[in-house]
């Protein structure tokens, strides 16, 4: 009997605990309104934790709005991140002018 109670409590806490951490950040809520956490992940390079990522989407069923939040765990400057992002976009086939424009926009955030 005690074991089944412990299992139930553990299951409930396991399901509810992540929900408390999935609140959208205020800056995303201010731009998009109500959102829903769609997915999350962590980037490790070798043994180094580089960043945590959260993908939010608009809460409406047919919403096409989304926001990607990256929380860097290393001391990168915003300019370095924006510059590297623009270079990666170019290597993926994005036109130079468009990648440069987006890089400048990212640097201003």
pTM over 0.85: no
d(CA 87, CA 100): 8
Is 40 exposed, middle or buried, given 0-12, 13-18 or 19+ CB atoms closer than 10 A? middle
Q: Where are the domains of the chain?
A: 23-75, 76-109
d(CA 67, CA 56): 5
**Could you read off the pLDDT of 29-59 as tens digits, one per residue?**
888 888 889 999 999 999 999 999 999 998 8
């Amino acid at each position: 009997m005690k074991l089944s109670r412990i299992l139930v409590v553990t299951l409930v806490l396991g399901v509810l605990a992540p929900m408390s951490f999935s609140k959208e950040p205020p800056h995303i809520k201010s731009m998009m309104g109500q959102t829903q956490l769609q997915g999350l992940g962590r980037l490790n390079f070798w043994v180094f934790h580089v960043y945590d990522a959260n993908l939010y989407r608009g809460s409406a069923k047919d919403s096409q709005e989304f926001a990607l939040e990256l929380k860097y765990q290393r001391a990168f400057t915003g300019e370095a991140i924006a510059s590297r992002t623009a270079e990666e976009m170019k290597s993926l086939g994005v036109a130079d002018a468009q990648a440069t424009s987006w890089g400048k926009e990212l640097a201003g955030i």
